[in-house]
């Protein structure tokens, strides 16, 4: 596509006085015609050359998968294939579900050199999408027009739950600083069932003293144990209508999947097996528990494009399905959103056959705005109504939690920003206390 430049319009405008002079002085008429013809020929030649004119090359780089509701960096490597300096304007075409900044930029390129620029996108939904090409605009030789071309740079991209938080978890875990994510780890030594080593006695529980080893060494020593590995963590995700509700414009399902990814990563680091059950009115997907990073990838491939549907979930059917296939004692994490006593009672009844063999947690996402409304100052009838409704909602959720507790089911009810830390912290406490 050719866009005439201001220089072209200026030069074309000069043909008007030449034509007027040619009308008065006949010998200037040919000059006027030749001048105008030259401009037209120059534009035509530029148009013909522009079709196959390879001036720049663009490559796009980004992480293998992008994180939903998180800023992701996209890099473009732009190479000047000519021997001339040039000014380039470019715009990368991103999927509609992604918000972006600095998508269109100006760049000064030196002859034969490459330059890297970047911008950020924030995907609002999970799934598989397509980056389109990259549009570039630059001045043609002589500056008569601007050439706009679409460079074929299409590529598919998957948007997963927040994988960037997992990288942060890894980094903080290596530094021993997971408290920055709100995760508290026990400093107790010797907890576990698998013997690891002997160490000197330092005001430990006297029941841990190894008397035979102490007699051989001539000083008190205790047995040091390490946490068991190869245990099973089973993640059950409700994708029925309970998970359609939103907090700050993000569905509770997305918050749960972010926390799920963090939990799976922690379980993998502990050497545990991981499995997954996805259900609403029917069982949607089931992944048999296994170990390793490949298993995490398999589970996330099953979860990244899932969405909640406006149907009533069949807890009894789904959990009966799980009970038949998972006989080994496991930590079962059920992501759902029981908001009142009746819903909690239905879930508790469905979990009853599993509770005798497994350790079960029900994970719910609370809305911080409800908490604020319940304590807000009242200045009008509407505000009074809002506060009463929020207070009643909180009471309902508390009754639901107590119903689960009386049925022997642990629960985690956390706000979105605290959910991952609360879940991973609960998992680590289960491991440290050897509850599995």
Give the number of other CB atoms < 10 A from CB of residue 233: 23
How far is the CA of 364 from the CAs of 338, 341, 405, in angstroms? 7, 14, 14
Q: Which helix (H) or strand (E) holds 284?
A: strand 283-290
What is the Cα–Cα distance from 22 to 16, expressed in whole angstroms? 10
Give the number of other CB atoms < 10 A from CB of residue 235: 27
What is the Cα–Cα distance from 377 to 236, expressed in whole angstroms? 40
pLDDT, residue 204, reads 60
| Cβ neighbourhood burial of 412 (10 Å; 0-12, 13-18, 19+) | buried
What is the Cα–Cα distance from 432 to 436, expressed in whole angstroms? 10
E strand spans, 39-80: 56-61, 65-67, 72-80
- pLDDT per residue, tens digit, the chain (436 aa), is 667 777 777 777 777 777 777 777 777 777 778 888 888 887 777 777 666 667 888 999 999 899 999 999 999 999 988 887 888 888 899 999 999 977 778 888 888 888 898 999 999 999 999 999 898 887 776 667 777 888 888 999 999 998 887 776 665 554 454 554 445 554 444 445 555 566 676 666 666 677 777 788 778 877 665 556 689 999 999 999 999 999 998 999 999 999 999 999 999 988 999 999 999 999 999 999 999 989 999 999 988 899 999 999 999 999 999 999 999 999 999 999 988 999 999 999 999 999 889 999 999 999 999 988 888 888 888 889 999 999 998 999 999 999 999 999 999 999 999 999 899 999 999 988 888 7
CA triplet 161, 372, 389: central angle to 5 degrees? Answer: 100
The alpha carbon of 101 is separated from its chain's Cα centroid by a whole number of angstroms, namely 18
pLDDT, residue 197, reads 60
pLDDT, residue 413, reads 93
- Structural tokens at position 357: 């063999």
pLDDT, residue 187, reads 44
What is the Cα–Cα distance from 356 to 329, expressed in whole angstroms? 9
Name, in order, each residue with C-beta under 8 angstroms of 134's C-beta and a sequence gap of 6 or more: 58, 60, 76, 90, 91, 92, 93, 150, 151, 153
CATH topology of domain 232-432: Rossmann fold (3.40.50)
Global pTM reads 0.75
CA triplet 407, 343, 259: central angle to 5 degrees? Answer: 85
HSE-CB of 101 using CA atoms within 13 angstroms? 8
134-167 burial, b at 16+ Cβ within 10 Å, e below that, comes to bbbbbbbeeebbbbebebebeeebbbbbbbebbe
Homologous superfamily (CATH) of 56-160 is Immunoglobulins (2.60.40.10)
CA triplet 132, 134, 137: central angle to 5 degrees? Answer: 150
The conformation of residue 191, written as its DSSP 8-state character, comes to -
Q: Residue 40 in 3-state DSSP?
A: helix
The conformation of residue 209, written as its DSSP 8-state character, comes to B
């Amino acid at each position: 596509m050719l866009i005439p430049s201001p220089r072209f319009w200026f030069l074309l405008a000069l043909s008007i006085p030449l034509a007027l002079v040619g009308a008065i002085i006949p010998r200037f008429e040919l000059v006027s015609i030749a001048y105008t013809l030259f401009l037209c020929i120059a534009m035509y030649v530029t148009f013909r050359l522009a079709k196959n004119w390879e001036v720049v090359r663009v490559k796009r780089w980004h992480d293998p998968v992008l994180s939903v509701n998180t800023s992701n960096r996209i890099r473009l490597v732009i190479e000047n294939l000519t021997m001339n300096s040039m000014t380039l304007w470019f715009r990368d075409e991103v999927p509609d579900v992604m918000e972006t900044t600095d998508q269109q930029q100006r760049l000064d390129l030196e002859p034969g050199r490459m330059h890297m620029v970047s911008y950020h996108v924030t995907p609002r939904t999970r799934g598989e999408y397509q980056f389109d090409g990259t549009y570039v605009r630059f001045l043609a030789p002589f500056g008569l027009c601007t050439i706009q071309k679409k460079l074929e740079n299409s590529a598919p991209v998957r948007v997963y739950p927040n994988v960037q938080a997992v990288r942060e978890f890894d980094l903080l875990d290596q530094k021993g600083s997971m408290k920055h994510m709100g995760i508290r780890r026990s400093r107790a030594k010797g907890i576990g069932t698998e013997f690891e080593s002997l160490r000197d006695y330092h005001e430990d529980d006297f029941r841990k003293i190894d008397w035979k080893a102490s007699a051989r060494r001539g000083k008190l020593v205790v047995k040091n144990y390490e946490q068991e590995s190869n245990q099973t963590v089973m993640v059950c995700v409700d994708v029925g209508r309970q998970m359609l509700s939103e907090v700050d414009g993000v569905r509770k399902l997305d918050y749960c999947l972010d926390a799920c990814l963090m939990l799976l990563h922690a379980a993998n680091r502990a050497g545990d097996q991981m499995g997954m059950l996805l259900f609403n009115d029917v069982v949607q997907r089931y992944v048999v528990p296994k170990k390793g990073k490949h298993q995490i990838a398999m589970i996330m491939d099953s979860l990244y494009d899932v969405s909640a549907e406006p149907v009533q979930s069949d807890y009894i059917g789904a959990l009966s399905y799980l009970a038949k296939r998972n006989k080994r004692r496991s930590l079962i994490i059920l992501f759902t959103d029981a908001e009142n006593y009746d819903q909690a009672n239905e879930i508790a009844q469905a979990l009853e056959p599993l509770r005798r063999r497994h350790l079960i947690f029900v994970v719910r996402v609370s809305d911080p705005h409800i908490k604020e409304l319940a304590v807000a100052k009242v200045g009008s009838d509407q505000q009074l109504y809002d506060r009463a409704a929020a207070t009643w909602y909180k009471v309902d959720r508390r009754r639901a939690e107590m119903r689960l507790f009386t049925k022997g089911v642990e629960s985690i009810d956390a706000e979105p920003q605290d959910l991952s830390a609360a879940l991973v912290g609960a998992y680590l406490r289960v491991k440290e206390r050897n509850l599995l």
